[in-house]
Structure 1
Amino acid sequence: MKFNHAESFFSAEQQGQPLVIAGPCSAETEEQVLQTARALKQQNIHLFRAGIWKPRTRPGSFEGVGSMGLAWLRRVKRELGMKVSTEVATARHVEEALRQEIDVLWIGARTTVNPFAVQEIADALQGVKVPVMVKNPVNPDLALWIGAIERIYHAGVTDLAAIHRGFSSYQKTKYRNVPVWQIPIELKARYQGLPLIVDPSHIGGKRELIFPVSQKALDLGYDGVMIETHPKPDLALSDAAQQVTPERLAEILGQLQVRKTSYDDAELENRSEQLRLQIDAADHDIIAALARRMALVEQIGEYKKLNNVQVLQLERWKEIFRTRAEWASEAGINPAFIEELYKLIHVESIRKQTQILDGV
């Protein structure tokens, strides 16, 4: 896949600033949609968003107003001159949205997980020139995310963007959906022309997390933000806790800093290159140390095989997990990072020892 970022809808209006997509999680009433749009029009946002069809986790919750909401978005477009966007999950949604002149479509996380549903949408988009955004799937699966983008791309839609809205997790964290930043970073590395937009509302789940998540995304080179905005967030029919007022949105946007993409001073660039070389040397030392550790792991595996001892020694693992985190704290390193690192190291150690015991 090849993307021309310069000619994309998602970069054409930015003028050196991040693309801003804002609007309510759900279109609830015509008055609410127009009230929000008028307030956002004053802020010159690039794209107005509102959910019409809302796929919910469980039945009985508000699932959107349906097709009649498209007329409200069309009114926003015609009366205020704003570009409008909504989520589609079926071919019928696509056809109805295009009939009502919706400018940009997006595919939600619950749809991205289903290749059949994405293909149905792709088939409906054949021969249509409309920008499309694809949210990451619910679970942290880069291949599934890329697959959804590929299906839309192969339908002839080349003006695409990816939306990072975080991933579900069984662990309790401060986020509604954990960011797992390495996944969108890998996507950006593979497809450098593909615009990447952060959805801090769904990542955070709480309005106080919108600014820090947005800033981190911009620091990582993201191209824009999608922030859910409602005139009375606490009364919203869906996702009330993660929506902000238009006034608060203006404050957030005013606080965000856009970093330079490169150094503009030769001396700073030279110093940075020297530090990169030192980092390369440090990484070489780390890999050499890991190689020595794995050689020792293999020796232990041979000893266990000789003495018919099982691979997993739980007390020993608990000791490693505890002491390495303590050593990290003493060294000024985030212990949570070291814990995650040693989980990976332990998995590889178990794999090596299991191979030895099984004679593989």
Structure 2
Amino acid sequence: MSSIIQKGGKRPIIIAGPCSAETEEQMMETALQIKEFCNIDMLRAGIWKPRTRPDSFEGVGEVGLSWLVDAGKVLGVPTTTEVANTKHVEQALKAGVDILWIGARTTVNPFAVQDIADALKGVKIPVMVKNPVNPDLELWIGAFERLEKSGITELGAIHRGFSVYKHAKYRNVPNWEIPIALHERLPDLPIINDPSHITGNRNLLLEVSQKAMDLNFDGLIIETHRNPDVAWSDAAQQLTPENLGVLLDSLVLRSQNSEKLDSEHISVIREKIGDLDDRLFDILTARMQLSEELGIFKKEHNITILQPEHWKKIISARLNRASEYKLSDRFVRQVMDAIHQESIRHQVRVMNHSSDKEEQ
């Protein structure tokens, strides 16, 4: 089959279906409702559910594979499910599942990814890989490399956010800079956004989906259930097929045509931005020269580099002015932390005569 997750194909790719296959009737009715209210490119369902705590619903297992495949035939679209070990791979392939994905809890374990890659040697099937639960770009890339070495050539990434403790808004924080960095490293790799697992809240799905489209993601994977309120897993983040149709109709798909960005007006704006960037780095250079002077003073008077109370005052003062700067608190904090770390690096070099090469 021609893989639907090839870069440069249809955009956006829409993958939808329930978090978990619960019953044969639930799978078929969900598929029929999707067919009624919207067009999708791939039907998903969880067959094995890796849960955080024991005694939770962990999927119906192998029996659900035929329900998924049959529902996909009714829709006339490929099917996809998560595999976490070699047994899952064997059973999914035997049942005729078209596309596999590796979940975040598996991606974090190179041994588990390698086992799956070994099980897929000689098999021609597309595989999608979710980001690891922790924000580790190299670990994510390593999973693709392992699969490629096993002969899997049709690969896609799923960005589902990263685990944190009690975030005020998201179930898993997006950390958009990581999938953006993935695209920089692997520009031909399709990236699918998973707003369901990022938000954990159906009311935020459109907001995150739109941002993913604005950042030029290749598609969306959205959990969809015939009756989300009674779903056996992750009820709060699932949509009805009808509401999925509303969400998809609400998305604004902006042009990827870069020729429009070559106008004289855009060139002038970009030139101004470049000038400001140059000034920013000139200022940062001057700032680090002053840091080195501080380092010399501290060395002469045998004072530690880190002065926590002074640093707290600086951070507090900048955060208090974030709205005045028209910048988010998070951005101000990140910038100040980066400046602080670079300042420490310069002072360490002065005080201990270390080289840049040693510090890196």
TM-score range (shorter-chain normalised) is over 0.9
Letter in 2 for 1:301: G
* Residue correspondence of structure 1 range 314-353 to structure 2 within 5 A: 314-353=308-347
Seen in structure 2, the aligned counterparts of structure 1 residues 185 and 265 have a Cα distance that, compared at 3 Å, is closer
Task: Say what the alpha-carbon RMSD is for the aligned residues.
Answer: 1.8
CA distance in 2, matches of 1:264, 1:313: 51
Corresponding residue number in structure 2 for 1:73: 68
1:283 paired residue number? 277
Residue 10 of structure 1, aligned match among 5, 8, 23: 5
Worse-superposed segment, 291-300 or 73-82: 73-82
Q: Identify if the C-alpha distance between structure 1 residues 12 and 342 changes in structure 2 by more than 3 Å, giving closer, same or farther.
A: closer
Q: Does 1:58 align with 2:43?
A: no
**Residue type at the aligned position of 1:240:** A
Q: Which runs of 5+ in 2 are unaligned?
A: 355-360
2: CA distance between counterparts of 1:265 and 1:236?
Answer: 46
The CA deviation at 1:172 is: 2.5
Q: TM-score, normalised by structure 2?
A: 0.93
The counterpart of 2:84, out of the listed 82, 89, 112, is 89
CA–CA distance in structure 2, aligned partners of residues 220 and 265 of structure 1: 17
From 156, 164, 171, the equivalent of 1:161 is 156
Aligned 8 A contact 1:46 1:83 in 2: yes
Shift of 1:116: 0.8
AA at the equivalent of 1:294: M
Q: What is the aligned counterpart of 1:47 among 42, 45, 48? A: 42
Match of 1:100 among 92, 95, 102: 95
Instruction: Decide whether aligned partners of structure 1 residues 192 and 250 sit closer, same or farther in structure 2, where only a CA change above 3 A counts.
Output: same
CA drift at 1:12: 8.7
1:103 Cα deviation after fit: 0.6
The separation in 1 between residues aligned to 2:72 and 2:229, in whole angstroms, is 26
Distance 2:28 2:8 in 1: 22
Q: What residue in structure 1 maps to residue 145 of structure 2?
A: 150
The offset of 1:74, in angstroms, is 2.2
Q: Name whichever of 35-44 and 142-151 sits farther off.
A: 35-44
Contact 1:104-1:131 at 8 Å conserved across structures: yes
Alignment of 1:138-217 (within 5 A): 138-170=133-165, 172-217=167-212
Distance 1:29 1:171 in 2: 32
User: Given residue 61 of structure 1, which amino acid in structure 2 is its aligned partner?
Assistant: S
Structure 1 residues 224-303: aligned runs within 5 Å = 224-263=219-258, 265=260, 269-303=263-297
| Moved beyond 4 Å, runs of 4+ | 11-15, 263-266
1:158 to partner: Cα distance: 0.9
Q: CA deviation at 1:257?
A: 1.1
Matched-pair identity in %: 53
* Residue 70 to residue 265, structure 1, CA distance change in 2 (3 Å): closer
Task: Say whether 1:37 aligns with 2:31.
Answer: yes
Structure-1 separation of matches of 2:205 and 2:9: 20
Equivalent residue letter for 1:307: H
1:117 aligns with 2:129: no
Preserved CA contact (<8 Å) 2:6 2:154: no
Distance 1:265 1:142, change over 3 A: closer
Corresponding pairs, count: 352
CA contact (8 A) 1:9 1:159 kept: no
Q: Following TM superposition, by how much is the alpha carbon of 1:328 offset from its aligned partner in structure 2, in angstroms?
A: 3.8
